[in-house]
Amino acid sequence: MLFNFPLKNLAKETNRESFRKVLIVRLPCNPIFPIGPIYLADHIHKCFPEIDQQFIDLAIVPLNKVSKYLKRKIDQFRPHIIVYSWRDIQIYAPVDGRSGNPLQNSFEVFYSSNILKKIRGAWGGLKLITSHYEEINRNTSLVKMGLNRAQKYNKSVKVILGGGAVSVFYEQLGKLLPKGTIISVGEGENLIEKVLKGDSIIEERCYLAGQKPRNKLIHEQPSGTIKTACNYKYIKSIWAEFDWYIEGGDYYVGVQTKRGCPHNCCFCVYGVVEGKKVRVNPVNEIIEEMKQLYEMGVRGFWFTDAQFIPTKNHIQDAKLLLQAIKDQGWTDLKWAAYIRADNIDRELAQLMVETGMSYFEIGITSGSQELVRKMQLAYNLKTVLENCRMLVEAGFRNHVSVNYSFNVFDETPNTIKQTVAYHRELENIFGKGLVDPAIFFIGLQPHTLLEKYALENNILKPSYNPMSMMPWTARKLLWNPGPLGKKLGEVCLEAFDNKDDEFGKTVINILERNYGKSSLDDSLKVRKLSERKLTAAKV
């Protein structure tokens, strides 16, 4: 497969000897342990131990100091390659984004009948819009400034930009970056290896800023790489602020046990970015990585996989890993992950409890089996309940977060009643105080089935900008269509006014008050295919 623009073979332009110093920069974001760029630095070191590297995490630097901090590091280190990692672009964070609450601001503008609340929502929304564009401008400016600064010392400096935000919005960001910037989609180990070797990158999921990416670039499957234990002694030597995350004690440190997601959830981009093929890391390598961190004082681990147990075929992989953790005798360890709770058996449930699972998230999205199927989530809600009971029988007594996204496809008062019934059953299983409903309204993302649906039904125009926060676009991208959307918006506004209870629990209570509760059997039923044709949502 060829690029549809002329891409010179890097081997003709450069050679490996010119790349003696690599600076890896995590751009400002919420301070979450930067596992992606760490793994990239580790991979570079294993392939090219002679290359000098430095890593800086701008997420832990005050925003008014990041530019000076980056300039100083470049002046001191004088890199030949700068690799930037852009973790996320918080366009429609469900609740409490970095600069406020976009859900509350939007719903006050769209649905409130109180003029003062509309004004408050509009003012909050204006601040969010300003913050959003400032963040994009700041990060792209840091990339440009870093390149210009480094060119004072090395005219042939290369810049690579990757990370979660780039993978999702690579088509839009390419227009905002210096021409020639290598824009990486998905995992970047093989790409950086080829750049450092001077090999052609024509087969990698990337393109050069200023040019047009090949069609459906993100849908190409990653070539993959063999994952071994990260060498944290080395990472600590190239990252002066490494202990910032360790000394706090409350941070969960990321460990990846696999890559890829085989599912086709209509609103999710994980399976597109990471690829459909699940690649499981060797258990001994995962344990070696965790052992290093444990000896450094880490006691909380977050398995960063898209799903820790993506299918029933991966139950055995989870058992092998957790048994190996148990064999280490780490009795004070705690861990958490995204769990597909329909992929658990009794033995695995016991191991999960014995190894310190302290919390998990269930992304069922709805308590209606029919809607779960329409959204292509591949969950069996009855099995989820059975397995949750197994976890409790095994001794699990910690918090569970259950993600609900109302009004994605064909939501009705009846399906709302089904979700209420299902949630109440989860509370019966775990205990009411331990089940935390997380209420999401989908922020429509590019490259998803939901985007395809919106385009096919003329809800969005092909020329729409997925990075836009302008009100006329935001109303469509913050997905809550149809007449029911207004009703749900009003429910959320009432819940925001309740300061005595958590938002999610209040929403469920109001929905039960307004719509009632179905039987659990109704929640688990699916009508005949002829009776459940998907209807086009109206905006």
CA–CA dist 406, 366 (Å, integer): 7
Q: Phi and psi dihedrals of 403, rounded to 5?
A: -90, 125
Average pLDDT over residues 532-538: 46
- Name every residue whose Cβ is closer than 8 Å to that of residue 230 and which is 6 or more positions away in sequence: 38, 39, 42, 289, 292
Q: Average pLDDT for residues 284-291, to the nearest whole number?
A: 98
**pLDDT-derived band at 74, boundaries 50, 70, 90:** very high
Residue 501 has pLDDT above 70, yes or no: yes
Q: Which fold has domain 235-337?
A: Transcription Regulator spoIIAA (3.30.750)
Which CATH fold topology does 21-90+131-209 show?
Rossmann fold (3.40.50)
Q: For residue 90, which of 129, 146, 144, 32 has the smallest C-alpha distance?
A: 129
For the four alpha carbons of 476, 480, 482 and 486, in that order, the dihedral sign comes to negative
Whether the per-residue pLDDT at 194 is higher than 80: the answer is yes
Using the predicted structure, report yes or no on whether residue 338 has a pLDDT greater than 80.
yes
Mean pLDDT of 11-29: 76
305-310-314 Cα angle (round to 5): 105
Q: What is the mean pLDDT of residues 108-130?
A: 93
- 327 pLDDT band (50/70/90 cuts)? very high
E strands present in 189-319: 206-208, 253-255, 258-259, 279-280, 300-303
Query: To the nearest whole number, what is the mean pLDDT of the chain?
Result: 90
Handedness of CA 437, 262, 273, 450 (dihedral sign): negative
In sequence order, what are the residues at sequence separation of 6 or more whose Cβ sits closer than 8 angstroms to the Cβ of residue 404?
364, 365, 366, 367, 419, 423, 437, 438, 439, 440, 504
pLDDT bin (cut points 50, 70, 90) of residue 5 is: very low
* Portions of the chain given CATH number 3.30.750.210: 235-337
Inform me whether the pLDDT recorded for 55 exceeds 70: yes
pTM value is: 0.91
pLDDT band at 26 (very low <50, low <70, confident <90, very high): very high
Which residue spans of the chain are classified as CATH 3.40.50.2300? 21-90+131-209
Q: What is the mean pLDDT of residues 359-372?
A: 92
- As annotated, the residues of the chain forming the CATH 3.30.750.200 domain(s) are 341-443+478-521
Q: For residues 227 and 239, give the distance between their C-alpha atoms in angstroms, rounded to a whole number.
A: 21
Top-level class of domain 341-443+478-521: alpha beta
Per-residue model confidence (pLDDT) at position 461: 93
* Alpha carbons 531 and 350: distance in angstroms, whole number: 41
